[in-house]
Amino acid sequence: MTALREEVCTLLQEFGLPAVRVKPASAEVIEFNGLFSSLINVAAPLDYRLWFVEGVLPHIARADRVRWETALTDRTPVQVQVAFKSVDGRVLDFEMRSSASVGQKKFGQSLLCVFIPHTNPFFERIYAAHLSEGRELERCRIRNELHKGVSQQLLGAAFGCRLLAGKVVKLSEALGKEASDLAELLNEAVLELQNLVQSSENQG
pLDDT, tens digit (0-9, with 9 covering 90-100), for 17-67: 889 999 887 889 998 988 888 888 655 557 888 999 988 999 999 999 999
Asked if residues 112 and 101 have their Cβ atoms less than 8 Å apart, the reply is yes
Q: Residue 53's domain is classified under what CATH number?
A: 3.30.450.20
Q: What is the pTM of this model?
A: 0.53
Q: Looking at 67, 95, 119, which one is the last position of a domain?
A: 119
Q: Indicate if the alpha-carbon torsion angle 10, 15, 21, 24 is positive or negative.
A: negative
Q: 1 in a domain, yes or no? A: no
Asked if residues 106 and 23 have their Cβ atoms less than 8 Å apart, the reply is no
Q: Looking at 74, 102, 119, which one is the last position of a domain?
A: 119
- How many whole angstroms separate alpha carbon 107 and alpha carbon 174? 90
- How many whole angstroms separate alpha carbon 124 and alpha carbon 114? 19
Dump pLDDT digits (tens) for 166-178.
Answer: 888 888 888 888 8
Could you tell me which of 55, 48, 43, 54 has the C-alpha nearest to residue 4? Answer: 48
Asked if residues 49 and 56 have their Cβ atoms less than 8 Å apart, the reply is no
Q: Indicate if the alpha-carbon torsion angle 58, 62, 64, 66 is positive or negative.
A: positive
Q: What is the mean pLDDT of residues 121-140?
A: 64
